[in-house]
Amino acid sequence: MKLSILVPVYNEQNTIGEILRRVRAVDLGDIEREIVVVNDCSTDGTAELLQEEAAHKDTFVFNHERNQGKGAAVRTALQHATGDIILIQDADLEYDPREYPLLLRPILEKRAQVVYGSRFLGGPRKAMFFWHMVGNKFLTLITNLLYNTILTDMETCYKVFTREVADKLQLKSPRWGFDPEITAQILRHGYRIYEVPISYTGREIWEGKKISWRDGFVVLWTLLKYRFVPLKPPEDYSPSHSKPGPKNVRTPD
């Protein structure tokens, strides 16, 4: 059994080394791990730090030649992931990798094929911005209404799913439309999402928090679009990489 941990990165020189250290420190028992990092054309020194991280045998680094957004970075990482289970990890320090065993348990016990870590199920958390919380809960409510589900945190970073699910995804959104897009496609394919409580240490704006209220309109439009647009047959992904190290990858516009 192998776990692929996908890490989209943009201008995170202050946190990338620490988050990768924390990811490697997690005890996964007999589960093999690979860390697939996609540098989305960072301009702050992140790329140079990732050249050093690529020396670790479990770490594979890919570079976008221009900035395309989180969705595009995750899509590139998916194309190179070889694991039986996929987990998405942001490059900041808002989410704690020590919770991987909790996130993986429902899949390993064959109770679910998709697991989300929810920040709103009672886990410890740093106080969020009020309007960010309102926006998150509003968009999650719209998701529940459109797709007949009862999620509490659609926009969580921690999304975990099996290879079977990954092979059915047809992700196109390059930026903040990624979370509603992947959620909508998972639900449209008939998978139920299992939620577990997680901790959350949200960043302040001055610490590098990137999302703004304007991104909510993109999320809302994406939810509406995927509720009614027919899903295409899955493409044949052929993930492969033979050795660790920084690589340059061109991804679709």
**pLDDT recorded at residue 244:** 47
Give the confidence band of 135 by pLDDT, cuts at 50, 70, 90: confident
Q: Considering only 111-115, 207-211, 213-217, which range has the smallest mean pLDDT? A: 207-211
CA distances from residue 228 to 2, 143, 167, 188, 191 in whole angstroms, order as listed: 35, 13, 21, 10, 17
How many domains does the structure of the chain reveal?
Answer: 1
Domain ranges, residue 210 = 2-234
Give the confidence band of 175 by pLDDT, cuts at 50, 70, 90: confident
Is 63 a domain residue? yes
Q: Express each pLDDT in 7-23 by its tens digit.
A: 999 999 999 999 999 99
**pLDDT recorded at residue 232:** 73
Is 249 a domain residue? no
- Under 8 Å between Cβ of 85 and 188: no
**pLDDT recorded at residue 44:** 93
**pLDDT recorded at residue 204:** 54
Does this model's pTM top 0.85?
yes
Is 252 a domain residue? no
Greater pLDDT, 109 or 241: 109
Is 216 a domain residue? yes
Q: Which residues lie below 8 Å from residue 33, measured CB to CB, with a gap of 6+?
A: 2, 3, 4, 5, 23, 24, 58, 83
Is 14 a domain residue? yes
**pLDDT recorded at residue 250:** 52
Q: Which residues lie below 8 Å from residue 205, measured CB to CB, with a gap of 6+?
A: none
Q: How far apart are CA 44 and CA 93, in angstroms?
A: 17
Q: Can you list the alpha helix ranges (DSSP code H) found in the chain? A: 16-25, 46-53, 70-80, 100-108, 130-147, 163-166, 178-188, 215-228
178: domain CATH number is: 3.90.550.10
Is 239 a domain residue? no
**pLDDT recorded at residue 56:** 97
Greater pLDDT, 95 or 208: 95
Planar angle of CA 73, 78, 81, nearest 5 degrees: 125
**Sheet containing 114-118, strands listed edge to edge, beginning at the edge strand earlier in sequence:** 194-197, 114-118, 159-162, 85-88, 2-9, 32-39, 59-63, 246-248
Give the confidence band of 122 by pLDDT, cuts at 50, 70, 90: confident
Is 248 a domain residue? no
With a cut of 70, say whether residue 91 has pLDDT above it. yes
Assigned token pair, 174: 């390059």
**pLDDT recorded at residue 100:** 98
Dihedral (Cα; 19, 25, 31, 33), 10-degree rounding: 40
Mean pLDDT of the chain: 87
With a cut of 80, say whether residue 188 has pLDDT above it. yes
With a cut of 50, say whether residue 58 has pLDDT above it. yes
Give the confidence band of 238 by pLDDT, cuts at 50, 70, 90: very low
Is 83 a domain residue? yes
